[in-house]
Amino acid sequence: MSKSSKKPKFCRGMVCRVTCVTGDGDHVCRLLDLGLTPGTEFSVVKVAPLGDPVEIDVRGARLCLRRRETQGLDFEQVERSG
């Protein structure tokens, strides 16, 4: 919703939607391959005990991503839970 470039902070249970995939190179390519295409919703299932990585549910698969490796992936929090 907010136009600010700051991404929402991951916390358990939140639902996000990919708004835009920016940048190029293999890094972004891999995120697209995993189904994080613009418009896709994903939910944060769990944050690892040591704070990183974050387990997300995207298209029915459970993936872990490191926070700092979500660069190039813009997303917004969807205002509903569950």
Structure tokens at 43: 């939910």
- Report the C-alpha gap between 20 and 39 in whole angstroms: 8
CB count within 10 Å of CB 33 equals 10
Binding to other proteins (CB under 8 A) within 1-30 occurs at 21, 24, 26-30
Q: Which of 40, 41, 76, 77 binds other proteins (CB under 8 A)?
A: 40
Binding to other proteins (CB under 8 A) within 51-70 occurs at 51-53, 55, 59-66, 69
- Report the C-alpha gap between 63 and 73 in whole angstroms: 15
Q: How far is the CB of 74 from other proteins (least distance, A)?
A: 12
- Interacting residue ranges for other proteins, rule: CB under 8 A: 21, 24, 26-35, 37-40, 46, 48-53, 55, 59-66, 69
